[in-house]
Chain A
């Protein structure tokens, strides 16, 4: 087994509901969905976040979308306008979860493309249709 950061296997989006942040993790490749379900147990995700999540972590699988939804309770310092956090609405908890290292069989790890970062030589101008 190899330890691989989740960002190489999945993308994600997060949002808020009161003091709870949600993170929806989506496998890039449907073939890796079961691997994510196995690795991303509520306990493992709770341990990854540590002090950032005061309450429980709930998990809801969506095999139809090869996605898993996590509810991180007590993650937003009260949430809404109460919170003193820069990320008071949990918008980037998604990327915090994608830092998590998970165990992946060696043969799968060897075949994973490099993914998650803009490639070398990429130009910000391309974001408006310009550049190379």
Chain B
């Protein structure tokens, strides 16, 4: 700690968001690094479903199981970040932070920064292999929605990761890591971890940590706070070709300004930031993270103009005794197929095809937990609120899906779509893509676990490139 205190900063800390999910704009992090001054680049790659996908990849290849896009990105920007002293914090490590770190060290050598940068990794959030022991020790890991104990489905679990807080990120930064890869670090911790490290905040300073959480929430979905997917007057959004991703300019007192690099597209104002604040929100007075409970009803926004919004006044309360666990388990199979019907009576034909297909599935004796019919182009987004389709609707796409426990039944369903072309309602097209694919359903099992069952297992290590 004494070591840290000597280099606490008072100048604003610029923390840039580079990715909002695994699959986001690959050029965005490059623009953030090269488009103007930043101190940190943070990238969120993980969603609930992502962990189970990565776990499957790792089962096939022990070196896989992380966000692969991150490695070629680092090969491009390693020289930039070394030259400018930018540090990177990301949860790209997925279910294999060590594998990711090894690939990253290779990327660093290939990029010519050997001896000039340090790579840190945070491990221990993955409790998949410890589940039987944890259950035998009395951790029920009950489903937060249904109350059922995890033992009911433990044989079907594919991944189990604990949302961890900022402490290991801060430790890696204290140890001099320039690039830190974690597993299931909570999204917001990627942003407030650097604040704790740079400003020397105590984890008991609930208001400042809560402010960092709000900053993290604004950063965690990339351009969704700077004009992307923004509904308000959407047609006025300036040049979205190279949209500016958000940058948080943090101050030691917990206040911060949301902005973006000059000359980029998009917009940062009160409305674009507010849309992101309410995204995926539950009870706003009770925004629970591993390190603090933030109260989003205390957020104050001041629009400053010039793509700058000041955020201040955030209050928080003490953390809970529990951490959240994200568990994915195999829960059957599903498939969805599409056919397009044209005028006249497009919607009526599509509905007739749907009814016909359901009758055929019944007569084949196929059993499903659910069969769903939607008309894409009419009711697949607003349901009955769209009203009744007119007879002169130019075209509509029938979308029909099934899910069930029996894979063979779902497989047979995928073979019943194409026959409708010659054996059902007329003026049908759009089947050139072939049979639909059978997908395994990964159901989500949210649970809580006591901190002491996880925190002693967290580890941080730092290596020179």
| A123 shortest CB reach to chain B, Å | 9
| Contact present for B442 and A67 (CB under 8 Å) | no
- Chain A neighbourhood of B282, CB < 8 A: 17, 22, 69, 71
Nearest chain B residue, comparing its CB with the CB of A127: B240
Of B274, B285, B297, which contacts A26 at CB under 8 A?
Answer: B274
Which B residues are CB-close (under 8 A) to A50?
Answer: 384
Could you tell me the distance between the alpha carbons of A113 and B276 in the complex, rounded to whole angstroms? 25
* Alpha-carbon distance A131/B138, docked complex (angstroms): 65
Q: Return B10 CB to nearest CB of chain A, in Å.
A: 28
B301 at the A/B interface (Cβ < 8 Å)? yes
Q: Is A26's CB under 8 angstroms from B442's CB?
A: no
Q: Is B145 an interface residue (CB 8 A)?
A: yes
Minimum Cβ distance to chain A for residue B103 (Å): 27
A87 & B280 in contact (Cβ 8 Å cutoff): no
* B48 and A67 contact, CB distance less than 8 A: no
Residues of B within 8 A of A80 (CB): 48-49, 442-444
With contacts A26-B271, A69-B281, A128-B241 taken as known, whether A81 is within 8 angstroms of B49 at the C-beta atoms is yes
**B271 engages A11 (CB within 8 Å):** yes
- In the complex, which residues of chain B have a beta carbon less than 8 angstroms from the beta carbon of A28? 232
Considering only CB atoms and an 8 Å cut-off, how many residues of chain A contact the other chain?
Answer: 50
| Cβ-based interface call for B192 (8 A) | no
Q: Mark B257-297, 1 if CB is under 8 A from A, else 0.
A: 00000000100000100111111111111000000000011
Which B residues are in CB contact (< 8 Å) with A115?
233
Q: Is B376 an interface residue (CB 8 A)?
A: yes
Q: Which of B229, B277, B385, B403 contacts A84 (CB 8 A)?
A: B403
Nearest CB in chain B: distance from A23 CB, A: 8
Closest to B283 in A: A60
> Contacts of B336 on A, CB cut-off 8 Å?
84
Contacts of B374 in A (CB 8 A): 85-86
Secondary structure call for the A interface: mixed
Query: Within 8 Å CB of B278, what residues of A?
Result: 13, 22, 24, 26, 62, 65, 67, 69
Any chain A CB within 8 A of the CB of B25?
no
Whether B231 lies near A11 (C-beta < 8 A) is: yes
The answer to whether B376 and A86 touch across the interface, beta carbons within 8 angstroms, is yes
A25 CB to nearest chain B CB (Å): 8
Name the distance in Å between A5's Cβ and chain B's nearest Cβ: 11
Q: Is the CB of B231 within 8 A of A63?
A: no
Question: A51 on the interface (CB 8 Å rule)?
Answer: yes
A-chain residues with CB within 8 Å of residue B371 when the two chains form the complex:
84
> Which chain B residues lie closer than 8 Å to A127 at the CB level?
235, 237, 239-240
Judged by a CB distance under 8 angstroms, whether B344 is at the interface is no
B406 at the interface (CB under 8 A from A): no
Q: How far is the CA of A81 from the CA of B265 in the complex (A)?
A: 33
Contacting residues, chain B, for A14 (C-beta < 8 A): 279
Chain A residues within 8 Å of B239, by CB: 127-129
Question: Which chain B residues border A87 with CB–CB below 8 Å?
Answer: 380-381
B275 touches A26 (CB 8 A): yes
Residue A126 at the chain B interface, CB threshold 8 Å: yes
Which of A85, A87, A99, A115 has the most chain B CB atoms inside 10 A of its CB? A85
A31–B384 Cα distance when bound, in Å, is 32
Task: Give the residues from 50 to 95 in chain A that come closer than 8 angstroms, CB to CB, to chain B.
Answer: 50-52, 60-65, 67, 69, 71, 77-82, 84-87, 92, 94-95
A selection of 24 A-B contacts at a CB cut-off of 8 Å is: A18-B446, A22-B278, A22-B279, A22-B280, A60-B285, A62-B284, A64-B301, A67-B278, A69-B282, A80-B442, A80-B444, A81-B439, A81-B441, A82-B443, A84-B372, A85-B374, A95-B231, A95-B381, A95-B382, A96-B383, A119-B235, A126-B235, A127-B237, A128-B241
Chain B contact residues, CB within 8 Å of chain A: 48-49, 145, 229, 231-235, 237-241, 265, 271, 274-285, 296-301, 331, 334, 336, 370-372, 374, 376, 380-385, 399, 401-403, 439, 441-444, 446
Could you list 10 further interchain pairs (A-B, Cβ under 8 angstroms) beyond the known A81-B439, A95-B381? Answer: A13-B231, A15-B280, A48-B385, A52-B383, A52-B385, A64-B299, A69-B282, A82-B334, A84-B401, A86-B381
